[in-house]
Amino acid sequence: MFAKENYRGLIFATLATLLWAGNFVVSKSLYQDYSPVHLSFWRWTFAFILLLPFSWRRLTVTKLAVARRHLGFLFIASLFGMSLQTFLVYQAAHTTSATNQTLIGISAPVFVLLGGWLIFHRVPSLQTLLGIVVSYLGIYFLISKGGSAGITPGDGLMLVAAASFSVYTLMMQKQPIALDALLVLTLMAGCAAFQCGILYLLMGSLGDVSGFHLPGKEIGALLYFAIGPSILGYLFWGKAINEIGCMKAAYCYFLLPVYGAAMAVTLLGEGISLLQVVSYLFIVAGVFMSVKGDRVHVREYA
């Protein structure tokens, strides 16, 4: 039987995944008109502005000292889990489908397992290793079109994005306990906006984008990015990690293609191929094998 905390944690993780699935679909609908760095910068800038009125009063002298002491941690965590991951997802939308993005996105639990091995020096069981292999077979079938084609740039970028998000998931176990979740999210959103702003200015100076400009008709989508995937999604994900640990939270992430495919078919008119279904089954089967083989160690992450 699951404890009450487990049910709450699973609900939070599922809601976060639903909001992030919408992020893939909405970004896919915008990719032809707006650069990835423009969407990334304004997403995190709006998120920071919206969060600030609710969190600035929480920043006491003591918490300010804690925040300064952990600024490096917050900066790096926001780099992997927010600015870099967001930019890669929006860039990938140019050369792969929203359905493929969500399918590759669920490889994050496998990267979390590998990260736990490398960071926490925890040797995975044979069954866990076998599950990882099965998951990556599914990913290979998907991105190589069954072995008959090369990897598209978008699919490759999504693999890097999944690895980046797994680093964030592992890092958030060590977030400063003296800072509440809302304050941590606000500070990290500010870091992400700063990082994306630097990239925006750099790419503009190199001529890779048309230059810095204010949002226009895409303002509704940017507000969705800021409120849904950025604020609520990350708060829910943080709550899930606190309730059930990063490993169990990561396993809920395989619902991403279910939500994403339903939205992509309904809103974008994308189709679902047999190859995508088979790849999904391989990936999920591998995740379940990894869960079962790794279950004796899950408490270390809770």
Total domains, the chain:
1
Q: Residue 153: which residues within 8 A CB-CB, separation 6 or more?
A: 92, 94, 95, 96
Compute the distance between CA of residue 117 and CA of residue 110 in angstroms, rounded to an integer.
11
Per-residue pLDDT of the chain (302 residues; tens, 9 = 90+): 456 657 888 899 889 989 988 998 898 888 788 889 999 999 999 999 999 998 888 777 778 888 888 899 999 999 999 999 999 999 999 888 888 888 888 777 778 777 777 777 777 778 878 887 888 788 877 877 665 566 788 889 998 998 898 888 888 877 777 788 888 889 999 999 999 999 998 887 776 666 667 777 789 989 999 999 999 988 898 888 888 877 677 677 777 888 888 888 888 887 788 888 888 888 878 877 776 655 434 333 33
- Give which of 95, 109, 98, 167 is closest to 138, Cα–Cα: 109
Structure tokens, 173: 């176990």
C-alpha–C-alpha distance, residues 126 and 277, integer Å: 26
**Count of C-beta atoms within a 10 Å radius of residue 272:** 15
Amino acid at 84: L
Looking at the whole model, is its pTM more than 0.85?
no
Range of the domain at 230: 4-300
61: how many CB neighbours lie within 10 A of its CB? 7
